[in-house]
Chain A
Amino acid sequence: MNNARPPRSQQSQVVRIALAAGALPLAVAGVGAVAVWSWRDDLPSRVATRWGADGANGFSTPASVGWLLLGTGLLVAAAGLALALLARDEPALARAVSGTAAGTSGFATALVVASVERQRGIADSAVTTLPGWMVGSALVAASVCAAVAVWLVPPRSATPSTADAERFRLPISATERVVWTRSVATAGVPTVILVAGIGVTAVVGMATGTWVLVVVAALLAALVALMISIRVTVDRDGLAITGRFGWPRQHTPLREVHRADVAMVRPIRDFGGYGYRIAALGPLRGASGFVLRGGPALVVERVDGRRMVVVVDDAATAAGLLNVLVEQDVSR
């Protein structure tokens, strides 16, 4: 999908970032605030804005809800804009920040607007509830906003580095059938923490009867199961990274690979944590990928300038093979 394009001007990139991380979150919240304001005659003088296990327990006037929504949108947009502009040289990061800002604003707005809309035309807001599906649909709205923001900020089309010095190379003849494959599992400590966290969530949910928590725990458990170990494969089709059960699947064809290298990765320091990450600081800034544990990692610089990372044993052989296969790729 992302082939090399002509270089985009710095200015146009900044404008797009401003739109995605600033204007969009603000606009979404603004629309929500206007909607709430337009219903003010339909609503009780105090609307429910907070719910606990036993019903509504926090109330505000419709006007305050509108202002709060606007204020939230402003805050999210300001923070998002600042962070995204700081990261304007690393499109992967700028996209992630923009998506988060837009998604956060989208989620808050959708939830507030839906819960307030439900209280139109009723006299006493104390008996209203917050149905579970509202949270679900707010998440959907958030995803849509995030997707739009990410779409607005394109990945960089940089000219890749021309340094040919010391490329890993594995001498393979063009007629050989060859494959390099390894599996990687999430490091022990993060796994224990994840599982413990999910367990606690489930237990708390069941003990208090908050079934949303149990559902969340089940979803998390499914996600963890999918990502707890991955298989990394290098062959004449390119680089493929698949989850334990076949999904998620990330495939990079040979023609999109510029060069492969090895780097030492320290998860907390370079990526801020474990899992599928994007680096915000450090030598791997802008690179995204699978950091299931620390150690040697395969770093792939793509033709479009993006860098991908996957921590796996014997990364040097993988890099050597990938570089040679790229050389032998006749379709270039």
Chain B
Amino acid sequence: MLIRLDPDSAEPLFAQLASAVRGAIARGDVDTGERLPPARDLAESLGLNVHTVLRGYQVLRDEGLVDLRRGRGAVVTAGAVDGQAALRQGLVDLVTHARRLGLSADELVGLIRTEYR
């Protein structure tokens, strides 16, 4: 998985980290039961404080995407992958349906944006 953090962004680094991991799980870069890198190693690679990484991992734990276990580290839960898989499936269904109705990608995106508000 690829993690890119922008220190100049308004979003705090731990939140960016959590987003990056969330995206990796969604894309299937990490699988159920896989361990994320140890917080210490990830902090060293990214030039961050260990606590920043831990905070990011805790966000993911609170969302139910990873389990934090002593000695094992952060492990991706089945729910995480299933949840993302369900989303991906919903997406496929959505796009299929939209195509049938003759919607362009941009039009569909517009509808999605409206729904988000």
Q: How far is the CB of B29 from chain A (nearest CB, A)?
A: 7
| Cα separation A143 to B37 with both chains bound (whole Å) | 34
Cross-chain contact A231 with B4 (CB below 8 angstroms): no
Asked if B106 is at the interface of the complex by the 8 Å CB criterion, the answer is no
Q: A181-B45, A237-B45 are in contact. Are A176 and B4 (CB under 8 A)?
A: yes
A236:B1 contact, CB within 8 angstroms: no
* A182 CB → nearest B CB, Å: 7
A181 to B8, CA, bound (A): 23
Is B35 close to A, CB under 8 A? yes
Interface pair B7/A177, CB less than 8 Å apart: yes
A157 at the interface (CB under 8 A from B): no
List of B residues within 8 angstroms of A179 by Cβ: 2-3, 42, 45-46
A92 CB to nearest chain B CB (Å): 28
Say whether B68 faces chain A, with CB atoms less than 8 Å apart.
Answer: no
The interface residues of chain A lying within 8 Å CB-to-CB of B13 are 177
Q: Is the C-beta of A183 less than 8 angstroms from some C-beta in chain B?
A: yes
Are A231 and B45 closer than 8 Å at their CB atoms?
no
Decide yes or no whether A192 CB sits under 8 A from chain B.
no
Interface size for B (C-beta < 8 A) is: 20
A180 to B35, CA, bound (A): 15
B115 sits at the interface (CB 8 A): no
B32 to chain A, nearest CB (A): 14
Assuming A183-B35, A237-B45, is B3 touching A178 (CB within 8 A)? yes
Q: Contact at B2–A231, with CB atoms within 8 Å? A: no
Q: Across the interface, do B45 and A233 meet the contact criterion of CB distance under 8 Å?
A: yes
The verdict on A317 contacting B2 (CB below 8 Å), with A181-B37, A181-B45, A231-B37 known, is yes
Q: Please give, as numbers and ranges, the residues of chain B lying within 8 Å of A180 by CB-CB distance.
A: 1-3
Check B7–A175 contact: CB distance below 8 A: yes
Asked if B48 is an interface residue, CB under 8 A from chain A, the answer is yes
- Quote the shortest CB–CB distance from A260 to chain B (angstroms): 14
Query: By the criterion CB–CB under 8 Å, are B34 and A183 in contact?
Result: yes
Contact of B8 among A172, A175, A178, A182 (CB under 8 A): A175
The reply to whether B5 and A176 contact each other, CB–CB distance below 8 Å, is yes
A327 at the interface (CB under 8 A from B): no
A41 at the interface (CB under 8 A from B): no
Interface residues in chain B, defined as those with a beta carbon under 8 Å from any beta carbon in chain A: 1-8, 13, 29, 34-35, 37, 41-42, 44-48
Q: A176-B5, A233-B41 are in contact. List 16 more A-B contacts (CB 8 A).
A: A175-B6, A175-B8, A176-B7, A177-B4, A177-B5, A177-B48, A178-B2, A178-B4, A180-B1, A180-B2, A182-B1, A182-B29, A183-B35, A235-B45, A235-B46, A314-B29
Question: What would be 21 A-B contacts, judged by CB atoms less than 8 Å apart?
Answer: A172-B4, A175-B7, A176-B5, A176-B6, A176-B7, A177-B3, A177-B46, A178-B4, A179-B3, A179-B42, A180-B1, A181-B3, A181-B37, A181-B45, A182-B29, A235-B46, A236-B47, A237-B45, A314-B29, A317-B2, A321-B2
